[in-house]
Amino acid sequence: MSLFRTPSARQMTIGLTLLRLVLGFTFIMHGGQKLFVYGLPGVTGAFAQMGIPMPGLLGPFVALVEFFGGIAIVLGLLTRLAALGIASTMVVAILTVHLKAGFFNPAGVEFPLSLLAAAITLVVVGAGAFSIDALIGRRLQSADPVSIDRATGAARKAA
């Protein structure tokens, strides 16, 4: 592995898989804590105390997005959509809670900003080859009688 070469497709796949597993597990744990430890009434109360608008709606919504979005990201299923949902929760968390505490942990933007960057990375590049998304994509492409050559942009009829 060279420090100055573009990573191979295999290296990118391994990197995206590791990113998905860690990010997804982190959000499964955070959402699970909200759902199964604090409970929805506890999350709603905490959101109200933090000054987050519509806490009765947003508290449960965030708990569900984090938990089920985390599961989707680990599986690589609807990864871009799940990562977009997670990224949006991190933007709101940063702006409403963490920004006023500065950069550093435990209350600053350091951790949620890192999670936001990881989620945006998955929104931009997708789940990678080791994912349900890639499996669905391959099946859809093989069922499509017309494929697009990525290099030339020309449509070709499948034989």
Please count the structural domains in the chain.
1
Query: Which secondary structure element, helix H or strand E, spans residue 156, and what is its range?
Result: strand 155-157
For residue 79, is it within any domain? yes
Tens digits of residue pLDDT in 33-92: 999 999 999 999 999 999 899 999 999 999 999 999 999 999 999 999 999 999 999 999
In Å, how far from its chain's centre is CA 28? 11
Which residues have C-beta within 8 Å of that of residue 63, sequence separation ≥ 6? 31, 34, 35, 40, 43
Which range marks the domain in which residue 39 is found? 9-131
Phi, psi of 108 (to 5 degrees): -75, -170
For residue 86, is it within any domain? yes
What is the pTM (predicted TM-score) of this model? 0.87
What is the DSSP secondary structure assignment for residue 143, as one 8-state letter?
H
